[in-house]
Amino acid sequence: MSLPIAMAGTDMIGQARTGTGKTLAFGIALLERITVPTDPGYAELAYPGKPQAFIMTPTRELALQITNDLKDAATVRAARILTVYGGVGYEPQLDALATGVDVVVGTPGRLLDLVNRRALDLSHVKVLVLDEADEMLDLGFLPDVDRLIAKTPASRQTLLFSATMPSAIVSLSRSHLSQPVNIRAEGHDEQTTVPATTQFVYQAHDLDKPEIVSRILQADHAGKVMIFTRTKRAAQRLADDLEERGFSATSIHGDLSQVMREKALTKFREDRVKVLVATDVAARGIDVADITHVINYECPDDEKTYVHRIGRTGRAGNTGVAVTLVDWADVTRWKVINKALGLDFVDPVETYSTSDHLFSDLNIPRGTKGRLREARREEPKARERAPREERPKRNRTRRRLHNGEIVGDAAGGVAASDTEPIQAERSADIPTEQPEGDQPAGTRRRRRGGRGRGKATAEQVAQPEPSQS
C-alpha cells in the first residue's frame, strides 16, 4: 500500500514493527524518482553528480544494510550509491562525492561533518528518507537531523519510518512533512511483537546463564543465533566463553572498530559462525536471513528495545524463538515491559540449566551438556630451555700483562696460540696516560663484583710480602 503513495511523490509516515520490509517500501520508489547517468535526461540536470536521494539512519549497520538492499534493487538502473558513516577514513567518501553519486545513505554525525566541510551538497535532493526515526531520537540525533533537513530543498518528498511514534517524532513530522499520509502496517490492537516468534521468559541466575545459553544453542532446529547483552564487556566475555566451550561465536559491540564489526557480521551472514553476541548497537538494522533464535542474555531496558531485539528472528514469513533471561534484580523492570506489551509473562518461571521445562520448552535433547568439547588446557611450559646450537666456548681465563709480557693467569699457564687474540681483546685494560682531571694513570677501570678500586700489579703478586718481624 505504501509503494504507490511513495511513487506518487506524496509525503508519508510509515509505522510498522521491525522485519516487515520497510526498506523496499521506500527503496523502489526512491530509485524510480531519481535520474541516473544512463537515463536520457541526466545531462540536462542542473548539477549532474549531486545527490538526488538522501537517507538517514541511526546506526552504521543499518546504513550498510540499506545500501546493500538498494544496490540489489538498482542493478538494472546502475545507480551510484554511497554509504557515509564514522569510524572509517574520509578519503574514499570524499573521492566518491567528488566523482558524483545519486543516492547517499548515512548516519547523522558523519553526514553533518561532510556538509560542514562543503563536501556534501544536499541542495538538489528530491527524496529524503528518515529510517528508524524513534531510534535516532533515543540516540540523541534529532538536533543533527534538524540541521541536515534544513540543508535540503523545501520541494523535496519526505518519507519517515518509525516503529513507534513518541511525541518528539510526531513534532518532527509536523515540522518537516507536508500533508503526510499515515500508513500503519497493523491494527492498533495487534501485538507489537512479531506473531511468528515464540517467546519464552525465564528467571535465571547470572552465574548459570552461560550454561543455559550453551544448552539452548544445541536445541533442535537451532541455526543462527543472536544473543544480546547490555554492556560491551558482557558481550565480549560471553563470546569468549562460548568459543572456549566449543561453539563458533563472535561478537559485535562499540569497542570494536568498524572494520572488525563488519567482518564479524559478514562471518555471521555467511554461516562461518553460528552465534553472534551483540549489544543494542546491533539490534537495529541487522537483516540476516534464517536467524532461528534470539536470546536476551540480560533483561532489556524497555519495551522498545525488547521489540527490536526479538525482531531479528521470525522475519519474512519464517518462524523464530525468543528467549529472555531475567535476573532476580531485573524482575521489576521486566514486569514493566510485560505490561507495556501486553504479554503473558508476569512472573517468569525460575529456571536453571538442569530444569526439565527448559529442555522440553526449547526441544533440547536430554543429557545435553554445556560444552561441545573439553576446554583445551595448555601444557605447563617446561622450565628447561631447548638446547642451543653448540658454540665455541669462550676462554674466560684472566691474564695479566707487565711491560707487554704475560706474567701469569688464573689457570696457571697460557698456551702460546692464545696469546695474540687475548692480548687484542684485553688491550683496553692496559693503563694509559689520561689528561689532567681524569682518573690517575695507574688506576684501572672498576670491575663488577664489588672489588676494590686498586689492584696489585703482577710483580707485587709474584713477590712475597716483607717480614714484619
Percent of the chain with pLDDT over 70: 74
Alpha helices (H) in 245-352, listed in sequence order:
258-269, 303-310, 331-341
Highest mean pLDDT among 69-78, 359-368, 444-453: 359-368
Show the domains of the chain with their CATH numbers: 2-184 (3.40.50.300), 197-361 (3.40.50.300)
For residue 451, pLDDT over 60 is answered with no
Alpha helices (H) in 74-166, listed in sequence order:
91-99, 108-116, 133-138, 142-150
> What CA–CA distance (Å, rounded) separates 16 from 132?
10
* Residue 408 confidence (pLDDT): 53
Confidence of residue 384 (pLDDT cuts 50, 70, 90): very low
> What CA–CA distance (Å, rounded) separates 223 from 208?
22
Pick the range with the lowest mean pLDDT from 5-14, 86-95, 436-445: 436-445
For residue 459, pLDDT over 80 is answered with no
* Residue 400 confidence (pLDDT): 55
> Which residues lie closer than 8 Å to 196 by C-beta, 6 or more apart?
314, 317, 318, 319, 320
Give φ, ψ of 43 to 5 degrees: -65, -20
CB 157 within 8 A of CB 187: no
Check residues 197 and 196 and name the one with the higher pLDDT.
Answer: 197
The pTM of this model reads 0.67
**Grid cell for residue 407:** 706474567
SS3 160: strand
Mean pLDDT of the chain: 81
Confidence of residue 123 (pLDDT cuts 50, 70, 90): very high
* Residue 283 confidence (pLDDT): 58
Percent of the chain with pLDDT over 90: 50
For residue 309, pLDDT over 50 is answered with yes
* Residue 203 confidence (pLDDT): 97
For residue 428, pLDDT over 60 is answered with no
* Residue 78 confidence (pLDDT): 85
* Residue 273 confidence (pLDDT): 95
Residue 295, exposed/middle/buried by CB under 10 A (0-12, 13-18, 19+)? buried
Confidence of residue 452 (pLDDT cuts 50, 70, 90): very low
Region 424-451: mean pLDDT is: 45
* Residue 137 confidence (pLDDT): 85
Could you tell me where the beta strands, DSSP code E, fall in 213-257? 224-228, 249-252
Check residues 191 and 181 and name the one with the higher pLDDT.
Answer: 181
Using one digit for the tens of pLDDT, what is the confidence trace for 254-289?
888 888 988 998 999 999 999 999 998 755 667 788
For residue 349, pLDDT over 70 is answered with yes
Check residues 50 and 454 and name the one with the higher pLDDT.
Answer: 50
* Residue 390 confidence (pLDDT): 53
